[in-house]
Structure formats: C-alpha cells, structure tokens
Amino acid sequence: MTYDTFLGPLNHVGIAVPDIHKAIEMYRNVFGVTDITEPADLPPQGVTFAFVNLPSGQVELIQPYGDKSPITKFLEKNPKGGQHHICFEVKDIHAASLAMAEKGMRVLNEPRIGAHGTPVVFLHPGDAGGVLIELMETPKEAH
C-alpha cells in the first residue's frame, strides 16, 4: 500500500491577541525577535495580522478586524489572547479540501486567500482533536 504524506511543513501557529502592537512589543523586547512584519489588515478574514519570523517557522499574531471578526468570540473567552490555530501547508488546496470532506472532516470555508497570499481552508476543531487547523497552499515561489 502506498501512502501519500498529505501534510507539508508546519507553516505557523496562530495566536489571537487583543492588541497586536503590544504583542509585537513583547516578542521584540522580551524574546528579542527582530524579524517581525508590520501589522496588515485582511478584511475578508476579519483579522489584522503580523508574522513573527523564527528560524523554524512563524507565529502569526491575529487581532480582530471589523465587527464580524471570527476571533472576537475567542477573545471574549480568552481576554489575554491564546493559541487559536495551527497551519499546515498542502500542495493543492482544492484537492486537500475535497479529501478532507471525503474523510468526514467539516471544512469550514471555500478556499480563500489567506495572510500569505495563497488559498486557505479551516477544519472544524471538533473533528480534529480540538484543534482548529488551517490548511494553506504552499506558496509557489517558495519551492
């Protein structure tokens, strides 16, 4: 039996924060990280995001953007912020999305452009061991 490894690299861990500037300051001043992107708005996802770049991958800081942000509720439950999702790369988001649905996972959205400029989908945490999983198509230029 052949076994195709479905998941590519772990791309980032998403951390919801109430104040992205304070969070960036913490990573810069407490942890000494120098490579952190400027916060940018991503209206379709309802978040403002910044990447803390580490040798092994990224921490994605996300703060609510707009009235209907999907992370507002999360922050009501976790006012100081907290780990929100993990993101794995996949080669083809449409194939991955179909494969996940066939295996009984609830795919929460049609592929849409995420913070890295490539399409992403989210999988229901109730089907994934309590973890909100983001699948992201590997950026073409990176490989």
What x/- string results for residues 47 through 86 when contact with Co ion is judged by CB under 5 A? Answer: -------------x--------------------------
Write the DSSP assignment of 51-116 as a string of letters: EEEETTEEEEEEEE-STT-TTHHHHHHSTT-EEEEEEEEES-HHHHHHHHHHTT--B-S--EE-TT
Nearer to Co ion by Cβ, of 14 and 64: the residue is: 14
Instruction: Work out whether 89 is an interface residue with Co ion (CB under 5 A).
Output: no
Instruction: Work out whether 137 is an interface residue with Co ion (CB under 5 A).
Output: no
Instruction: Work out whether 87 is an interface residue with Co ion (CB under 5 A).
Output: yes
Instruction: Work out whether 134 is an interface residue with Co ion (CB under 5 A).
Output: yes
Residue that has been written with the tokens 């921490």 in this structure: 59
- In degrees rounded to 5, what are phi and psi of residue 31? -95, -10
Among 40-48, 51-59, 87-95, 96-104, which window interacts with Co ion (CB under 5 A)?
Answer: 87-95
- The answer to whether the CB of 41 falls within 8 A of the CB of 87 is no
**Applying CB under 5 A, which residues contact Co ion?**
14, 60, 87, 134
